Amino acid sequence: MRFKNEADLQKWLEQARNGEPKQVKKTIAPALTQIDTSLQRRIIGIDTALRCTGWGIIDVRNGTMTAVDCGVIKNTPKDKISDCLRRLSIGMRELITLYKPDYAVMEGAFFFRNVHTALMLGSARGTVLAALAENGISTYEYAPRRIKQSVCGFGNASKEQVAVLVAQFLKIQTNHIALDATDALAMAICHAQALAVSGGLGIPEPL
């Protein structure tokens, strides 16, 4: 805290003697209410696709991240669209009931080869987003580059490089984990880091 002159300091000390200074209250209170890092938060990252959706859950407390669980919801290429979406919806609802996450993270800013691909991926995203929203879980979207940057330090990292650094971050073995699941863990790590920086002021608006 800075004071313009001696009189200003004296005024502040006077206030402090009579109770907590009002000026301090005003400046500190909003920052504290934004994100309390001492509370444990559970974050689920979801790498959505129609055929293979990766998911990864971590706990964060005071900047320390702990892996909880991860996996994939798989469909064979022969499965009908409605079957894929049914399995995805039921799977997501099961995960939410079992792990009760506080936040969800998905990848945004897509590049598609054609409109049909966008429509198919949109269906999968909508199914996941509806299941999360129905359970009151806020979903945040980060660009793929930002997710890779937050884990690997550069935005063009391969899926294998992401897996190696996720292993280091969470102190787990990722050799036998599907790459879609480690990608999902990377999303959760990205959001955990955003929460920790400047009391969470850097996190985007939820979807």
**Cβ atoms 170, 66 nearer than 8 A:** yes
| φ and ψ of 108, to 5 deg | -120, -170
Enumerate residues 122-151 that contact its own copies by CB under 8 A: 122-127, 129-134, 138-139
Closer to its own copies by Cβ: residue 5 or 114:
114
Site string for its own copies, 60-99 (x = CB under 8 A): --------------------xxxx-xx-xxx---------
Residue 58 to residue 67: CA distance in whole angstroms? 4
From 59, 107, 141, 183, the catalytic residue: 107
- Copy the structure tokens of residue 23: 């000026």
**Cβ atoms 42, 101 nearer than 8 A:** yes
Buried/exposed code over 14-25 (b: 16+ C-beta within 10 A; e: otherwise): eeeeeeebeeee
Closer to its own copies by Cβ: residue 112 or 154:
112
From 6, 8, 14, 180, the catalytic residue: 180
Question: Mind telling me the catalytic residues?
Answer: 47, 107, 180
List contacts with its own copies (CB under 8 A): 80-83, 85-86, 88-90, 110, 112, 115, 118-127, 129-134, 138-139, 206-207
